[in-house]
Amino acid sequence: MIEQVEEILLVLDDKLSKTVSVLKEEYSAVRAGRANPHILDKVMVDYYGAPTPVPQTANISVQEGRCLVISPWDVSLLKGIEKAIMQSNIGINPTNDGKVIRLAFPQLTEERRRELSKQVRKMGEDSKIAERNIRRDALEQLKKLKNDKAVSEDEYASYEKDVEKAVADAVAAIDAAVAAKEKEIMTV
């Protein structure tokens, strides 16, 4: 029975940490006015018949903070990468000089910064909802063990506190990620 509780708590911790890491991953794709190579992580290009993320087909470097330079390992991929970037909705038009592709990030307006900030907060709130669902599932499993008399009332109360503390820590991590991303967006 103790193994079952440990299993529930391990799964809880794993799911909570995955939720936080997924949020941070999503934030890496949010454009904050500065050139960020991670914006291309989900842009797929046809690489010898297989859809492949752009970072796996080229070197990507940041130039002067506001420009990404994409140097494909195979020059024949230039057109494909350019087309893939245009089809993805990152909001930046690539310039192709025959050797490299450049993505110039424009300065964000105050209005656009506020929109991005709202979007970041909504993503954070969605993650908190996921955390609460994970908590509910864990508490239901513990309650089932209590009802089956596998754990006592006192043990259940103790485990419930463990679950609440784990969820509170994960929510604090989400709040910290939201605050950091909002600060990055609002910094001119």
**Residue 58, helix vs strand vs coil:** strand
**Residue 90, helix vs strand vs coil:** coil
Residue type, 176: A
Check if CATH label 3.30.1360.40 holds for domain 37-104: yes
- What's the CA gap between 14 and 46, in Å, rounded? 34
Check if CATH label 3.40.50.1820 holds for domain 2-29+109-186: no
Residues of CATH 1.10.132.20 domain(s) within the chain?
2-29+109-186
Residue 90 pLDDT more than 80?
no
The token pair that represents 171 in the structure block = 């929510």
Please name which of 75, 70, 79 lies closest in space to residue 40, comparing C-alpha atoms: 70
Which residue stretches of 88-152 are H helix?
110-147
Residues of CATH 3.30.1360.40 domain(s) within the chain?
37-104
Its pTM stands at 0.70
All residues at 6 or more sequence positions from 90 whose CB lies less than 8 Å from its CB, including other chains: 31, 39, 40, 43
Mean pLDDT, to the nearest integer, of 119-145?
92
Q: For residue 97, name the pLDDT band (cuts at 50, 70, 90).
A: confident
pLDDT of residue 1: 57
Residue 173 pLDDT more than 90?
yes
pLDDT of residue 50: 86
Tens-place pLDDT, residues 1-57 = 578 888 888 999 999 999 999 988 888 777 666 777 877 888 888 888 888 888 888
